Amino acid sequence: MPEINKTLTAKQGYNLRQVKDRLMSWFMGLGGVSVIIAIVLIFFYLLYIVYPMFVPAHMERASEYTLPAADKGSTLHLAIEEQNEIAARFTEQGSVTFFNINTGKSLETTNLIESKNKVTSFANAKFSKGFVALGLDNGKALIARHTYKLVYGETKRTIVPQVVYPLGLQQIQLNEEHRAPLTQLALRVDEEQSTLAAKSSDNTLIITRLTHEDSPLEDEAADEPIEFEQNSVTLANIHDVNSLLISGDQRLLFVVHNSNDITLVDITDIESMEILNRKKIITDDAKISSVSFLTGEISLLIGDNKGRISQWFPVKSKQGLQLNKIRSFETQHSAISQIITEQRRKGFAAVDTNGQLGIYHSTARRTLLSEKATNNTISHLAVSPRANVVLMEDDQGNYQRWNIENEHPEISWQVLWEEVWYESYEEPEYIWQSSSSSNDFEPKFSLMPLAFGTLKAALYAMLFAVPLAIMGAIYTAYFMSPVMRTYVKPTIEIMEALPTVILGFLAGLWLAPLIESHLPGVFALLFLMPIGVLLFAFAWHTLPTKIKQTIPEGWLAALLIPVIIFIGWLALSLSLPMEAFFFNGDMKAWLGTSFGLHYDQRNSLVVGIAMGVAVIPTIFSITEDAVFSVPKHLTFGSLALGATTWQTLIRVVILTASPAIFSAIMIGMGRAVGETMIVLMATGNTPVMDMSVFQGMRTLSANIAVEMPEAEVESTHYRVLFLAALVLFVFTFFFNTIAEIVRQRLRKKYSSL
């Protein structure tokens, strides 16, 4: 009976162990599947946030009606207010009619001039502020502004349109000696000064500068007109003028000629204005049909009678300021009748004589939409401040309102990954600059500097970490005394628990200044350290056997600790004398004059050392375990066959452990690629593409950490940051996949050893 009871108890214990094993197996499998599901969900969530940037634009007709206030004459200019409820129509009779944008019902009409005067030219400036200028047949000009006031009642909100005159109701005589009708007119308004440029019917170019102490840009209309001082200059015999445009900073005047030329005039000081150059814009048999400024008044958009639109802006060169053609759009095929730019983005809409509407983005070089809106010729076009409504008038007096869905036009493959020629830059570049205080700003969303910075930081970290970690792990596992190993291995592994924010703090505030003040010593250390260690090894080798036997086997590494400390102290101590003797007291200046290398205090060298310290424990621990786990019978068999210790290490041990060693390197690489706090605190965090060890960088992870709190939710900037996270995810997945493939091949190759 006792034997039977023992047998039953053993069987029950065996069954219980099987149940536990099965449950644990299921639990581990569930955990693994959960990890995979979590990673897949993260990937698809990133795609969910990023996808809307690549949804194509589309438009739909919202309403149609006939010309509002048709008795006031033909249209000179159309504009839409912020809420997309009211539009303004300026007419050739010098009046402005405000009407409901949905129904065309006239709300209010204001006469800007007396009936005895005639409007001979028209100009607008500061779309977002509503400034316009009317050129008259008496050689005068009137500056007005259409504004919209929100009035909140008990039950509803009302928009009240009004016309104000920031410089007064009086018409401005541009030049007392020239009172001929103004046939061309340009206007620019700023806080401190305004500029008018006009061509009169007697072929005289008049440039008038108005200097005012108070700003006409204030949203609240002033009780009294702003006082100003006027100064005018003239140029005679100016022929063949198609249109005039003044740059946003009021430094340049663009004179567009009917001969397809543009003359660039410097009007920074109108008393000493200078004609810079004249450039042929169209060289074939086409003709300029429409000219407009892009938002910011730096770039010109030029449409021709073949449906082509090109972007030009001034670029500094050896010959001075020159107009350069930056990019072109050739979607439309009939004469471009009008180009209207968006108020807050670098986008624009263009219509042609065939009724085709095109919507474009200049920086992204994208044709976002091209659709035939009518069979008639579109004569006037207006784009709402939010760029989500287009209002058009055709040559038959019919109006159409179109709703536009176009949330993220700034993004294209070229913007993200190729060089782009941005305004005011001398050549195409990779630039990340996501925000500015001005609506005229051209967003620069190139991910190339961030990806480059990520790989650069990881490269320098791995150059520092891999040799130290691998060699240290091999020595610890293969040569070091077991007792000493019990101290060394946990000490290095516990370094992994050190927060990277502490490493970044130390690197930025202690290591970076130390390296800057001892730069020659740091480079001397690269030579003195191996030489010093070799000399110590040679000296130790020549000592008598009795002395060498006093140190137990496997403890020789402990003797190197004071040697390494002494060599480090010696190199840093000699730094200042070496700098004074070899580099005239300033190595940073010598690097700049001799090699053109600029030195930043927080640079790649600092990042490489700090990130290397963070990565070393990971690589060391995996490598040491792999080398130590190589079966001893392989080592003993190799030694028994006559191989030396080093031959056994190189040809047996390392080859057997190579799959794990390679995995350790790739895991360390993944850790370096995803590192955030060290590169955030130990670099200048500047998105530059320079392999110099003395320059900083900005990585994908650091950029996300810096800019995500400031990004508007669901904005283009916000989604681009998620795209950067997706790129970082792909980087990590790529490195881990390659690591696993190579590891499996190495494992299969050397498993037979």
Q: What is the 3-state secondary structure (H, E, C) of 102-135?
A: CCCCEEEEEECCCCCCCEEEEEEECCCCCEEEEE
Which backbone phi and psi does 588 adopt, to 5 degrees? -65, -45
Compute the C-alpha angle 14/15/20, nearest 5°.
95
* Residue 280, CB-side half-sphere exposure with 13 Å CA sphere: 5
pLDDT at 241: 87
DSSP string, 304-368: ETTS-EEEEEEEEETTEEEEEEEEEE----S-EEEEEE-SSSSEEEEEETTSEEEEEETTTTEEE
285 vs 288, 352, 697, CA distance in Å?
10, 18, 49
Tell whether the model's pLDDT for residue 564 goes beyond 80: yes
pLDDT tens digits, one per residue of 246-264: 988 889 999 998 888 888 9
Q: Which architecture, in CATH terms, is 57-67+284-446?
A: 7 Propeller (2.130)
pLDDT at 222: 55
Total length of the chain: 753
Tell whether the model's pLDDT for residue 752 goes beyond 70: no
Task: Choose between 418 and 221: higher pLDDT.
Answer: 418
pLDDT at 90: 92
Q: Which architecture, in CATH terms, is 460-750?
A: Orthogonal Bundle (1.10)
Identify the band that residue 401 occupies on the pLDDT scale cut at 50, 70 and 90: very high
3-class SS at 296?
coil
Please name every residue paired with 144 in a beta bridge, in sequence order, or none if there are none: 132
Average pLDDT over residues 585-613: 87
Q: Please tell me the least confidently modeled range out of 33-37, 123-127, 515-519.
A: 123-127
pLDDT at 617: 92
The Cα 720–Cα 410 span in angstroms is 10
Tell whether the model's pLDDT for residue 722 goes beyond 90: yes
Average pLDDT over residues 717-730: 91
pLDDT tens digits, one per residue of 49-77: 999 998 888 989 999 998 888 888 888 99
Give the CA diameter of the chain.
133
Tell whether the model's pLDDT for residue 691 goes beyond 80: yes
pLDDT at 719: 92
Compute the C-alpha angle 427/433/438, nearest 5°.
100
pLDDT tens digits, one per residue of 628-670: 888 888 888 888 888 888 888 888 888 888 888 888 888 888 8
Please name every residue paired with 133 in a beta bridge, in sequence order, or none if there are none: 123, 143
pLDDT at 373: 85
Buried b (16+ CB within 10 A) or exposed e, 122-155: bbbbbbebbbbbbbbbbbbbbbbbbebeeeeeee
Identify the band that residue 31 occupies on the pLDDT scale cut at 50, 70 and 90: confident
Residue 113 · residue 121 · CB < 8 Å: no
Residue 280 · residue 322 · CB < 8 Å: no
Tell whether the model's pLDDT for residue 547 goes beyond 90: no
3-class SS at 136?
strand
pLDDT at 279: 86
518 vs 147, 172, 421, 562, 586, CA distance in Å?
63, 67, 40, 21, 10
The Cα 731–Cα 739 span in angstroms is 12
The Cα 244–Cα 262 span in angstroms is 10
Tell whether the model's pLDDT for residue 578 goes beyond 70: yes
pLDDT at 172: 85
Please name every residue paired with 393 in a beta bridge, in sequence order, or none if there are none: 380, 399
Average model confidence (pLDDT) for the chain?
Answer: 86
Q: Is the pTM of this model over 0.75?
A: yes
Tell whether the model's pLDDT for residue 709 goes beyond 70: yes
Task: Choose between 363 and 442: higher pLDDT.
Answer: 363
pLDDT at 13: 64
pLDDT at 220: 64
Buried b (16+ CB within 10 A) or exposed e, 704-729: bbebeeebeeeebbbbbbbbbbbbbb
Of 550, 555, 563, the residue nearest 485 (C-alpha):
555
Percent of the chain's residues with pLDDT above 90: 18
Average pLDDT over residues 329-356: 89
Average pLDDT over residues 152-174: 83
Residues 6 or more apart from 517 whose CB is under 8 A from it?
575
Retrieve residue 164's tokens.
Answer: 């104000």
Tell whether the model's pLDDT for residue 154 goes beyond 80: no
Q: Please tell me the least confidently modeled range out of 15-19, 221-225, 418-422.
A: 221-225
The Cα 360–Cα 341 span in angstroms is 9
Identify the band that residue 436 occupies on the pLDDT scale cut at 50, 70 and 90: low
Question: Strands 432-433, 300-304: parallel, antiparallel or unpaired by DSSP?
Answer: unpaired
Looking at residue 266, its amino acid is: D
pLDDT tens digits, one per residue of 344-359: 888 999 998 888 899 9
Tell whether the model's pLDDT for residue 442 goes beyond 90: no
Tell whether the model's pLDDT for residue 223 goes beyond 80: no
pLDDT at 751: 60
For residue 407, count other CB atoms closer than 10 A to its CB. Answer: 16
Residue 36 · residue 28 · CB < 8 Å: no
Tell whether the model's pLDDT for residue 224 goes beyond 80: no
pLDDT at 552: 80
